[in-house]
Structure 1
Amino acid sequence: MADHINDPEAGNNKSRLENVSDLEDYYNALNELEKQTGIPSPTTENTNIQYDPLVMDRWPTLFEILNKKTQSPLDLWSFYTYMRDEENAINYLDFWIDTVQHINLCKEYVRGLRNSLAFNNKVKEIEKADNILNTIRNNTMNNINSESSINLHDSTENFISPPTIEPSLGVNPPHKSFNFDSAESNRNSQNSSRNSRSSSILLDLLMKNNLLEEQDPHRLSMFLRGESAIRTSDPLANAKINELRRKSQSFVQSSSAVNLAATTEADKSSFRVSKINPEMVETFIQFDLDEKNRSFEETHHISRQALRNSTKQILDTYFMPYAENQIDIPPDMIQKVRYALERQGRDDPEVFDEAREYVFKKMELTAYPNFLRNNALKNVTKKSALIRLLISMTCALGAFWTGYTLIFMNYQPKPTRAVVVIPFFFMSYFFFSAFYRIDPFLCYIGYCESTASDGGLAPLKEPYVKKLLRKRSLFVLIVICSVAAAFSVVFALVPGKRLTH
């Protein structure tokens, strides 16, 4: 039996998933990550190679199996079932699956922030254009109404009392009263324009600096930790950043101290370097939502709290001493993860990178080779091999009974003894298919026995595995036929002697 990669004391092999359909969330997460330029992986060399089973004449790597690049019998569900039933190390694979889903959750969160900012900016541009058109239209109408009123007033005075012009006095220009409502409207318009311009400048800085870039795992983690920064000399942008910093209720005190130091140092020059964290971006978005009486949680299906809940679930499931599915990794690694999550409040994907790499290497060095030997080099399960061995013993009993009966009864004609080839063939077939755990008949019709499928049979879809199994099946078939022929020839040609009392 293969060595287990879990300590016996770790012992608990209870799986959270019972069927291949239960992996749907993981599959969806992988499909989303496939659209990105890269998934954070401990095996960088594997991420640069595109696996094409029709082109590459090799074994698939563990990374390709975990990322759903392979087919039966080396697919992800088969590996999951093997880890659960054979290696008793399903917690490792469950942890990997949960961290991949957390990575996708973080990417969706940042993508939602970026899309909201871009959408709100477009709405502001449209509203700004509408306001300009309305202002021009109102000014035009006011000018027309003012001219009409002046003309009407002059014509009325001429009708009632013709004006007398005194040469010594001259003509006074028409008196225009000051419009307080118009001045107030202009001030509001200027404030709104200034706020809109500062928001637009800050949005451009966020986009140009790729602060909301979810395709780069390192940038993504830096942003979630509040370590991303922008450098600008624009006073409007700096004022907007200060306003967001003040209004971010969840802003961490340590990050605030770093921001203050960076700002003080930057005041000596024309540029300022300011840290940006997710809470500030959420506040930035909330400014626009306040005008519509809506909250951030109502418009975003993934919030920062969802990320914290995800990391807490992973922490409680795999790293706590009382955890039912605690993974077997070095204690110092567990302490690092717990400190980062419980003390520092981190929820970025990089917090699990060291543990993910350890788990991956553990599976790659021990479970993965055993999985290949079990699923790729054989097409008969252990349970089926035991049953085949019992059937082989039964066939052997029948073959030897038939052979000796024909010999000691001196059955004639002698060629009739060739009938023993049938039980000897089945004896050899079931014995060697159990011994090598290869069934030639199943292989040549394109199937293999599998505990991962409901019917017990799975199609051979992986080309390299199919080719290799056919070669091994040919060898097993030659052995079966040779042994069956040898026994048949011996029992058919040996001289007969009838036993008498």
Structure 2
Amino acid sequence: MSEKHISNLVASNIARSGDLSGYYDALDELEKQNQNLASFTAGLDGDTRNRWPTLFEIVNGKTVAPLDFWSFYQFMRDDQRAINYLDFWIDTVQHLNLCKIYVRGLRTSLARTSHYRGAEMINEYIAQSQDDLKVNAQGADVTLPNVPQHHNRDSHASSRDSRSSSMLLDLLMRNSLLENSDPHRLSTFLRGEAAVRSSDPAVNAKIDEIKRRSMVANGSGSSAGGAPLEYSDPNVRISMINPDMVEALIDHEAQRSMDPSVNVRHGHITRRILRESSQTIMAKYFSKESERYIQFTPEIINKVHDALELNGRDDPEVFDEAREFVFKVMEYDAYPTFLIKYALRNVTDRSAFFRLFASAACAFAGFWVGYYLIFYDDGPAHLRGVVTLPFFFMAYFFFSAFYHVDPLLSAFGFTENHLSFFHPIKIEDGYCKGLLRKRALFVLLFACLVAAALSVLFGLVPGHRLSH
């Protein structure tokens, strides 16, 4: 990787493969909610045996050993020494998942509130019908037992407010305002740019009310949802809805219902957590004082800073341009080298170093035995064939170190572990396994040819006993 893009080697976020469970959980959650990604990966599953996996598949956990995400993480940390790039990718994926969970919690609360409001309106209708029956019964001098007496002007006002709330809830649900399967629509909602269209004065008044409530709750003097937009029909108004307004509506309805189970967001992801997550990412990777600082372009840094600090955004699209920058750096600088070291090789650099020593030792043994049999000429000529064994191991260790391919490991479908020499990894990628076996066959053939040539050479040299 070029010096411009290399970050200082610091302690990474992940120490072992088990620490990636949170990232994998986030990927699983995103895949469940994003059908586009699911259909994309489903279309690729059938042909992964005949091609290399893409970097997108690797970072999204769609590959197996030795090209799995944990192997790529080790490579970025230990070989490229640019783990900050991959840690940034992981953090932004988890931030996107937090945003989806937050919006899903709002949608669940809205659905439960809408269901409660529907039941409440039915009860009010039944109560009103009983009142009407009571009035008719009193006019006919008939007594009806246990008929409620508490409906007055306040109850009628409450009923109107309940109906307007129910209509607004239904409007929000029908417009799929809290759709979290589409990242763009998710970000639009979190930015407060989602809009609903209504011609009902009661609904518009309710929107204005929750807008004021959200402004009071957040201590904001500005318009929380923005001014209503003009529409060609003068009776129709387009209102901007943001998460604070939805929270205000849910909290208000929960207080009215006196049922805390209506608001199911308690103990789950809140907007404050989203803001803290986005601020943490900016402080960790965009601040020059941070040891995890990534050398983004000034344009990207300024855009992220303005979006978070000036505009108060925390939606996932804030980091989209930075994510694309990081992905391209990894794809062009790290990904090709990763394929060479982890897919086309099953011998590590450390193992290759020891194999060269073993090759030198075998070479010394082979030449010593060969020259001994030549100059002492003690036995029959076919005895010189014993040099084949040390020469074979000499060539085997040398070429396996030179090409970083071990034929024996390839035959059994294993590759050496870059972290532990004594714990080889089983190769699960079929395409990688096939290429390694082809390269292993070449290495084995080359080793046999060299061993045979040296054995024939020492076997054909006439013996000459040295005399004292």
CA–CA separation in structure 2 for the residues paired with 1:20 and 1:5: 28
SS at match of 1:367: helix
SS in structure 1 of the partner of residue 425 of structure 2: strand
1:255–1:403 Cα change, 3 Å: farther
How many Å apart are 1:51 and its aligned residue? Answer: 2.5
Q: Confirm or deny: 8 A CA contact 1:40 1:217 kept in the other structure.
A: no
> Relative to structure 1, is the Cα distance of residues 365 and 49 closer, same or farther in structure 2, using a 3 angstrom cutoff?
farther
Conserved 8 A contact 2:106-2:265: no
1:281 aligns to 2:246 (yes or no): yes
Q: Does the 8 Å CA contact 1:51/1:64 hold for their aligned counterparts?
A: no
Structure 1 residues 16-35: aligned runs within 5 Å: 16-35=13-32
Summarize deviations over 1:330-349 as a string: whole Å, max 9, x none. Answer: 12211211111111111000
Task: Could you tell me which runs of 5 or more consecutive residues in structure 2 were left unpaired when the two chains were aligned.
Answer: none
Contact persistence 1:231–1:273 (CA under 8 A): yes
* Residue in structure 2 matched with residue 197 of structure 1 by the alignment: 163
2:371 paired with 1:378: no
Could you tell me how far 1:454 is from its partner in structure 2? 8.1
User: 1:230 corresponds to which letter in structure 2?
Assistant: V
Partner of 2:50: 57
Contact 1:29/1:100 (8 A) holds in 2: yes
Q: Structure 2 vs 1, CA of residues 455 and 423 (structure 1 numbering), >3 Å: closer, same or farther?
A: closer
- Give the distance between the partners of 2:362 and 2:46, measured in 1 at CA: 40
Deviation sequence 1:236-291 (CA, Å, 0-9, x none): 110110001111133866655x833x35x459811111110000000010012213
Could you say what secondary structure the match of 2:226 adopts? Answer: helix
The letter for the 2-side match of 1:341 is L
Aligned to 2:33: 36
1:290 correspondence with 2:249: no
- CA distance in 1 between partners of 2:219 and 2:195 (Å): 15
1:15 maps to which of 12, 30, 35: 12
1:236 counterpart = 2:202:
yes
2:234 maps to which of 242, 257, 269: 269
SS at match of 1:392: helix
Is 1:405 the equivalent of 2:372? Answer: yes
Q: Cα 1:207–1:131, aligned 2, differ >3 Å: closer, same or farther?
A: closer
Aligned partners of 1:404, 1:454: CA distance in 2, in Å? 36
Equivalent-residue separation in structure 2 for 1:438 and 1:29 (angstroms): 36
| CA shift in 2, pair 1:355/1:227, >3 Å | same
Sequence identity of aligned pairs in percent? 50
Distance in 1 of aligned mates of 2:405 and 2:75: 18
Alignment of 1:428-443 (within 5 A): 428-443=395-410
Quick one: which amino acid aligns to residue 15 of structure 1?
Answer: S
Superposed CA deviations along residues 81-110 of structure 1, whole A, max 9, x for unmatched, are 000000010000000000000001101111
Deviation for aligned residue 1:450: 2.1
Q: How has the CA–CA distance of structure 1 residues 428 and 268 changed in structure 2, closer, same or farther, with 3 Å as cutoff? A: closer
Q: Partners in 2 of 1:61 and 1:309 — Cα distance? A: 32
Amino acid at match of 2:210: L
Deviation at 1:186, TM superposition (A): 4.3
| TM-score, normalising length: structure 1 | 0.85
Letter in 1 for 2:29: E
Find the counterpart in structure 2 of residue 392 from structure 1: 359
Amino acid at match of 1:414: A
Structure 1 position 88 matched with structure 2 position 81: yes
Q: Any conservation in 2 of the 1:428–1:484 contact (CA below 8 Å)?
A: yes
Map 1:326-337 → 2, pairs under 5 A? 326-337=293-304
CA contact (8 A) 1:251 1:279 kept: no
Name the SS of the counterpart of 2:33 in structure 1.
coil
Tell me how far apart the structure 1 counterparts of residues 421 and 159 of structure 2 sit (CA, whole Å). Answer: 65
Shift of 1:130: 3.4
Q: Match of 1:67?
A: 60
The number of equivalent residue pairs is 461
The answer to whether the 8 A contact 1:450-1:458 is kept is yes
Offset from partner CA, 1:357-412 (integer Å, 9 cap, x none)? 00000000010000000000111000000010111111111111011111111132
> Following superposition of structure 1 onto structure 2, how do residues 27-426 of structure 1 map, counting pairs within 5 Å?
27-37=24-34, 47=40, 50-52=43-45, 56-134=49-127, 136=129, 182=149, 185-249=151-215, 250=218, 256=224, 259-260=226-227, 262=228, 265=230, 269-291=234-256, 292=258, 294=260, 299-426=266-393
Deviation of residue 209 (structure 1)?
Answer: 2.3
> Could you say if the C-alpha distance between residues 40 and 90 of structure 1 is closer, same or farther in structure 2, counting changes exceeding 3 Å?
farther
Q: Rg bigger for which structure? A: 1
Separation (CA, whole Å) in 1 of partners of 2:78 and 2:455: 41
Tell me, yes or no, if the aligned pair for 2:89 and 2:323 is still in contact at 8 Å. Answer: yes
Q: Structure 1 pair 480/131, CA: closer, same or farther in 2 (3 Å)?
A: same
Residues 113 and 254 of structure 2 are in contact (CA less than 8 Å); yes or no, is this contact kept in structure 1?
no
**1:88-144 deviation per Cα after TM superposition (whole angstroms, max 9, x unaligned):** 100000000000000011011111111110011112222333344455557667877
Aligned to 1:484: 451
Deviates more, 1:65-74 or 1:130-139: 130-139
Structure 1 residues 191-200 or 273-282, which shifts more?
191-200
| Residues 248 and 283 in structure 1, CA contact (< 8 A), matched pair in contact too | yes
Instruction: Give how far 1:40 is off.
Output: 8.7
TM-score (norm 2): 0.91
Contact 2:358/2:397 (8 A) holds in 1: yes
What secondary structure, in the 3-state scheme, does the structure 2 residue paired with 1:461 have?
coil
Distance between the aligned counterparts of 2:172 and 2:220, measured in 1? 20
Which is worse superposed, 312-321 or 62-71? 312-321
Paired AA for residue 75 in structure 1? D
Task: Say if 1:253 and 1:486 are closer, same or farther in 2 by CA, change over 3 A.
Answer: farther
Aligned CA distance change for structure 1 residues 105 and 65 (closer, same or farther; 3 Å): same
Q: CA shift at 1:50, angstroms? A: 3.0
Contact 2:190/2:314 (<8 A) preserved: yes
Q: Which amino acid is the alignment partner of residue 477 of structure 1? A: L
Q: Is the 8 A contact 1:51 1:69 kept in 2?
A: no
